[in-house]
Structure 1
Amino acid sequence: MKLYVIVPLCALITLTQQAPSGDSCSCEFTNSERTFPHDKLSTVEDSASRCNTNITPQKTLELESLLLGLERRLPRLQEDVSALEREDDGELYGVTSLLVVENELKDIKELIARLSSITLEHQHLTNDTTTKLKDLEAEMQELETYDTMQVVNGKLENRRLRRDLDQCRNTVLPSTNSTEPPHGNCPHGQFRNITGPRMSTAGEYPGSYKYGAWGRDPKPEAGKESWHWLVMLTSGNKHSNYIRLYSSLSALVGGVSTPGNVQISPSNPTTNTIQGPNIVMYRGALYYNCYNQDEVCRFNLTSKTVTNIKLPKGTRYNSKGNFCHLEECYPFTDLDLATDESGIWVIYTTNQNFGNLVLSKLEDDEPELRLGQTWHTSVYKQGVTNTFMVCGVLYATRYIDKEREEIFYSFDTTTGVERFNLGIFIRKMYPNILSLNYSPVDQILHAYCDSYMVSYKVLFS
């Protein structure tokens, strides 16, 4: 054991023995290593911290918000100018219309000026950050020369090994008995477009409950293949404690609820009741965000039992990680549940992923409920209004105006490829789509819009 201590010390110091007269003896130690520059390390840490503070997703969101605002105002200005040209009487009407156009031009100029200012700020920030990163890289390379014991390299190698091990553990081996398609490999072909609305109904309670969700079970019990379900947030547009069942789509449209309500709890809200409108049903169980928890609840409609699974540490909940657009955020939309051909998913956001969307597969082997493989995306959640899954691909929407919603983003869980330019538009009958559920049974997209239930058909190539 002593040899392992002595050998490194001999590499670091030079020992000189002097023996003057008499019994006295002295030793001189000369350190052959350079003194570690702790001040430089502190400077590097401060510089890295400032870079993290200066560069945030909010800066990109602000620029995107201004661009969307400009995109909405320009067509409006064109319409007003066209109306003025058609109906100008040369007198009072023309003067009033010109003032309207002048005010719109003023607003657009202010938007452009703000855009120019932000673009210039971003350019300066980019140039400054690039320079600082190069300096940081050079300083870190210099500091690594002091690592004579190869501690840093060892830690980096351990980190790489740990990452490779996690990837091996999370790899899902193909099952010869499975009839479910692999993620991203769609039996219907490639997702191309959305048509509709095919159906719109106010149901039994027209205009009563703004937030909610509806759909059908992709893996229903025998005899319940045509059943549809509905959840309305009855407590302040935030919570609910029951699910309403219908024997068919026509029964739902006609407002004939049979077999009726299945209650989770007599109180609302309370432990394990529903929080937020992002709800799905799968294999006879309801999946939703548990009340006041960063957890997914599974309520079995037959046994009336609830199973919980906690999401990773740092998951945002209780209306801290909502879907948003320019004019508002949708409260308590922190967690979104989704179904597709391969099963059930949960979409959320974490502090560690800087507010970007995180996607996890839920493994629902009865009676156990566990979190499967997880993917991290680079799309900022508060720039998104809704998400849904189709064939292992995550799709995200954003608000364009009261008539249109755009499916602008996708993330393929098979390849890890992200796309931000899909450009697929949903024609809305009501301003806000508050939940989206895809049904792999009939390739229908179920939307809950300001208390109305609307359906769309998903088209494949």
Structure 2
Amino acid sequence: MHQTLLLLFLLLSPALAWLPMEDWESGNVTTSGGGLECVCSVFLPDSSFPADRVQHMQQATTDLRLELEIHMNKLVHYGGKLDIFLGELLDLTVRVAMLESSPDNYIKLDFELLRIELREFEALVSQLKGSLNSSSPLFDSVYTEIRNMTLIVNQLETYDKSNLEVIRIEFAKLQKKLEECQKEQEIIKPDIGNCNHTGIMSVSKPTVIQLNAHLNPGYLYGGWGKDSKPVRGHESMYWYGAYSSPSVYEFYLYSNYNKLLQRSSFTHHGLPQGYEGTGNNYIVHGNAVYYQAANPVRMTKLNLTSSVYSHRQITKASQRFTYTYSPNQYLDFSADEEGLWVMYASEEAMGKIVVAKLDEKSFGIEDEWTTGAFKPLVGNAFMVCGVMYATRPGDLKTEEIYYSYNTLTGEERYMSIPLQKFQDTFVNLHYNPTDQRLYMYSSGYYVSYNLRFNEE
């Protein structure tokens, strides 16, 4: 009986091999002799192994893993930025709440500054969202919060216009009194305009004023400050210039500090073709802008009263050496209590900084001194009382004033005076003798420092 069934199965197996898979799952066989029923179930695997599909799956898995690592790195990178941003946003929320509780105690400038900060926060959120390529509800909620805060600020500014107008008038009177007191203080303060000290002792923490007048952090190159030798009637004037590349093609002048903050009532000077500049270390001295013109590289003086340009070339100045943070900065202008200076590096000095005293009338060089500071290792340099001070990078948050050269005595000194940075890089750093402050342009922001001198 069993032999018969086996023989029957062997005879039918070639035909069964051609049946569809569902026909192989079960079959019934009944013997002819007495009701015995035999049920057979047969399962056959797929005879061909899908190697191409496995290989495709492995490649897809590898690509997915790499993409995941990229997104994880992005999250780690932007996580730190987001923490800082959330802290600043919390501080701004508190300030808006204070405004909402007592709007009469604030002036138009406060509202304008809040609007500026809100626009900066909105731009930052947009940047983070675009970089992460994400539409997270967190970003949407932050956007909504910023819009709500903007509406509150706008509503508060229109609240009780009469009271606000009275406050503005009183503030203007107070500001005038403060300016008079400041002038009197500068007159009686023996340090201003004098050099009764032996050098810089320390530098204050940075005062971060605000983002540049373009309200764009992409304007990484530029400068700002005061006239270091103001003419009568322009003692309170501030200047500013910023660009998205290390070039110079325009300047803005503001009659006072508040106009600079409000970006209003300014005078614009656009440089004509052929007079454009390059680099960043320009200054305003005696109502004239001193900057480095391009093609060819030369000293250029723009008289802001007559709009007359003057040029002088320093043939020894090399275009192979520039500061650590500043591309194309071959000529660095500076002004102090002793007058007007320009610093450059030469092949003859093997890349070390050369300090040259300028004659303001002839726009020529009076004298020169070769220092021991190798320019490519220097973050920036400035003059104070005839002494050149050079900085160098410390860490991400600290610059160090490490070297000085006294043009009066020829003395070199090495020191370690920390200079706290607002950003990891900066492109314009100069001293102003009218208020004994350092002015820095750092990644699009106005920054300043107070100096303390050793009066022994």
Same fold (TM over 0.5): yes
In structure 1, C-alpha distance between the alignment counterparts of 2:266 and 2:194, rounded to whole Å: 37
Mapped pair 1:238 → 2:246:
yes
CA contact (8 A) 2:211 2:446 kept: yes
In structure 2, C-alpha distance between the alignment counterparts of 1:298 and 1:361, rounded to whole Å: 15
Cα 1:403–1:378 change in 2 (3 A) is same
* Offset, 1:393: 0.3
Give a deviation string over 1:398-436, Cα, whole Å, max 9, x none: 11122100000000001101112x101111111112110
Mapped pair 1:186 → 2:189:
no
Determine which of 234, 238, 244 is the counterpart of 1:228.
Answer: 238
1:283 aligned partner, one-letter code: G
CA contact (8 A) 1:199 1:456 kept: no
Contiguous gaps of at least 5 residues in structure 2: 1-189
Q: Please name the residue that 1:298 is paired with.
A: 301
Contiguous gaps of at least 5 residues in structure 1: 1-180
Mapped pair 1:277 → 2:280:
yes
Determine which of 326, 329, 342 is the counterpart of 2:338.
Answer: 342
* Offset, 1:309: 1.1
Compute the TM-score of the two structures, normalised by the length of structure 2: 0.55
Q: Give the alignment of 1:314-353 within 5 angstroms.
A: 314-317=316-319, 320-324=320-324, 329-353=325-349
1:448 aligned partner, one-letter code: Y
In structure 1, C-alpha distance between the alignment counterparts of 2:297 and 2:410, rounded to whole Å: 26
Determine which of 420, 435, 443 is the counterpart of 1:442.
Answer: 435
In structure 1, C-alpha distance between the alignment counterparts of 2:444 and 2:334, rounded to whole Å: 20
CA contact (8 A) 2:289 2:302 kept: yes
Q: Please name the residue that 1:384 is paired with.
A: 378
Indicate the SS of the match to 1:252. Answer: helix
Q: Please name the residue that 1:255 is paired with.
A: 263
Cα 1:374–1:439 change in 2 (3 A) is same
Q: After TM superposition, which residue ranges in structure 1, 4 or more long, deviate above 3 angstroms?
A: 187-190
Q: Which has the larger radius of gyration?
A: 2
In structure 1, C-alpha distance between the alignment counterparts of 2:196 and 2:298, rounded to whole Å: 32
Determine which of 392, 399, 424 is the counterpart of 2:393.
Answer: 399
Q: Please name the residue that 2:225 is paired with.
A: 215
* Offset, 1:189: 5.6
Mapped pair 1:454 → 2:447:
yes
* Offset, 1:239: 1.4
Q: Please name the residue that 1:104 is paired with.
A: none
Indicate the SS of the match to 2:300. Answer: strand
Determine which of 352, 358, 369 is the counterpart of 1:356.
Answer: 352
Determine which of 260, 267, 271 is the counterpart of 1:264.
Answer: 271
Alignment length, in residue pairs?
262
In structure 2, C-alpha distance between the alignment counterparts of 1:227 and 1:189, rounded to whole Å: 30
Percent of residue pairs bearing the same amino acid type: 32
CA contact (8 A) 2:437 2:449 kept: yes
Indicate the SS of the match to 1:423. Answer: strand
In structure 1, C-alpha distance between the alignment counterparts of 2:308 and 2:350, rounded to whole Å: 35
2:210 aligned partner, one-letter code: T
In structure 1, C-alpha distance between the alignment counterparts of 2:296 and 2:358, rounded to whole Å: 17
Aligned-pair Cα RMSD in Å:
1.9
